[in-house]
Structure 1
Amino acid sequence: MFPGGQPNMQQLLKQAQKMQQDLAKAQEELAQTRVSGTAGGGLVEATVTGSGELVALTIAPAAVDPQDTETLADLVLAAVRDANAAAQKLQADRMGPLTQGLGGMGGGIPGLPF
């Protein structure tokens, strides 16, 4: 049984709908937000959305050596990884408070014992 009686199902549904709306809004904001990552002291810069989509890549002329394309490839990978790490942190910061307690059935919804 539930402490204090039965939960108000309408209230639970309202809370679930609000949580769904808040999550959708946060996801939309993440998709619109841009974060950057760099490598090689700024020779390569990658820009991704808050949801992790690569949207821009800038390579300084000084990073281009036709005899050493491996280093350039490494710099590009490092910049993209740096940008993705920034996007993941942004996601955690924005979505974390909205998704806490959703690990189990009913988690985070007042009135449910999970």
Structure 2
Amino acid sequence: MQQLLQQAQKMQQDLAQAQEELAQTEVDGQAGGGLVTATVTGAGELRALKIDPKAVDPEAASIEETAETLADLVVAAVQAANENAQTLQQQKLGPLAQGLGGGGIPGLPF
């Protein structure tokens, strides 16, 4: 029984370490062929947003259309970054969750 408790404590420590690593790791998502790039942590926190000046073409459309296009690109880039963060979470936390019995762990995304 003691050995089982030690294994559970080790897995819990490994899980906490993996979650900390995720919070420190940054991943990107892009939209519009790289015109907008969003950077999020592995935990999904938005850290940076970059908009290439080429995304704003004052001669191409009205201000309203340009703003709408930029908003769509920002949303798409953030969604792509979050998808990359979820993939990273599964890579880091998946093996640990399986070792602890699967998806029954509160706070894990699967």
TM-score normalised by the chain length of structure 2: 0.83
Q: Measure how far apart 1:98 and its partner are.
A: 0.2
Query: Is 1:87 the equivalent of 2:85?
Result: yes
Question: Residues 1-114 of structure 1 correspond to what in structure 2 (within 5 A)?
Answer: 9-65=1-57, 66-68=63-65, 69-100=67-98, 101-103=101-103
Question: 1:84-105, CA deviations, whole angstroms, 9 ceiling, x for partnerless residues?
Answer: 0000000000100000123469
Question: Structure 2 stretches of 5 or more lacking a match?
Answer: 58-62, 106-110
Identity over aligned pairs, percent: 71
RMSD: 1.5
Greater gyration radius:
1
Counterpart AA for 2:42: G
Q: What is the rounded CA distance, in whole Å, between the counterparts of 2:36 and 2:104 in structure 1?
A: 42
1:4 matched to which residue of 2? none
Question: Structure 1 stretches of 5 or more lacking a match?
Answer: 1-8, 106-114
Q: What is the rounded CA distance, in whole Å, between the counterparts of 1:91 and 1:57 in structure 2?
A: 21
Q: What is the rounded CA distance, in whole Å, between the counterparts of 1:36 and 1:15 in structure 2?
A: 35
3-state SS, counterpart of residue 28 of structure 2: strand
Give the number of equivalent residue pairs: 97
3-state SS, counterpart of residue 41 of structure 1: helix
TM-score normalised by the chain length of structure 1: 0.80
Question: 1:37-59, CA deviations, whole angstroms, 9 ceiling, x for partnerless residues?
Answer: 00000000000000100000000
Counterpart AA for 1:94: K
The structure with the largest helix share of the pair is 2
2:108 matched to which residue of 1? none
